Copies of this chain bind each other. A is one copy, B any other.
C-alpha cells in the first residue's frame, strides 16, 4: 500500500497527495512533511547539497519503515520519496505523506516516518560551501533522540 521511491528529479507534492487519495473517500486527514535544502549550516553559506545512498538497501529500508508505520497506526496509505544527487538550496529533499481516517494518526505517523527515515535509511549528505569547500554532514544526536521516542531501534 505504501509508495516508496528514490529519485533524482523534483517531486510534485500536489500530485503525490492526489495519488494517495485517488478514488477513495475514507481518508479524514493527510499529514505531510517536506524537508528542504537550507542555504546555510552552522553559519556557513551552502551552495549545493549532494545526496548519496546505498541502492538496493535504501528501497528495502524505506519499505520497512513504511511497514512499521502501517503496523503502528491504522494508515490508509503512506508515501516516502527521497531524492538523491545534487540539490540546490530551497529544493525538496524528502517527502513523507501519511493518510488516516483521523488526524492524530496521520500526524503522528508523519513524525514517525521522518524520524525513522533520518536514522534508519542509508542516505548521506555532503554540503558544498560558498568558499568551494565540501564536507559530509555529521549525524545529529538529536535525530537519534527523536527516533528513539518511537521505541527501541529493534
A33→B146 contact, CB < 8 A = no
A33→B107 contact, CB < 8 A = yes
> Of A17-25, A60-68, A123-131, which stretch is located at the interface?
A17-25
Q: Within the complex, which residue of B33, B103, B104 is in contact with A103, where a contact is CB–CB below 8 Å?
A: B33
Given contacts A26-B38, A27-B38, 15 further A-B contacts (CB under 8 A): A12-B14, A13-B17, A14-B17, A21-B36, A25-B36, A27-B90, A29-B36, A30-B32, A30-B33, A30-B36, A31-B32, A32-B34, A33-B103, A33-B107, A107-B114
The chain B residue sitting closest to A23, CB to CB, is: B90
Q: Contacts A30-B36, A33-B32 given: A103-B107 contact, CB under 8 Å?
A: no
Asked whether A106 is an interface residue with its Cβ less than 8 Å from the other chain, the reply is yes
Distance in Å from the Cβ of A37 to the closest Cβ of chain B? 7
Query: Given the complex of chains A and B, what is the CA–CA distance between A32 and B36 in angstroms?
Result: 14
Could you tell me which A residues sit within 8 Å of B by CB distance? 12-15, 17, 21, 24-40, 89-90, 101, 103-104, 106-107, 110-111, 114, 146
The chain B residue sitting closest to A107, CB to CB, is: B111
Distance in Å from the Cβ of A1 to the closest Cβ of chain B? 17
Q: Within the complex, which residue of B13, B33, B89 is in contact with A106, where a contact is CB–CB below 8 Å?
A: B33
Q: Which residues of B contact A107 (CB under 8 A)?
A: 33, 107, 110-111, 114
Q: Which residues of B contact A15 (CB under 8 A)?
A: 14
B29→A34 contact, CB < 8 A = yes
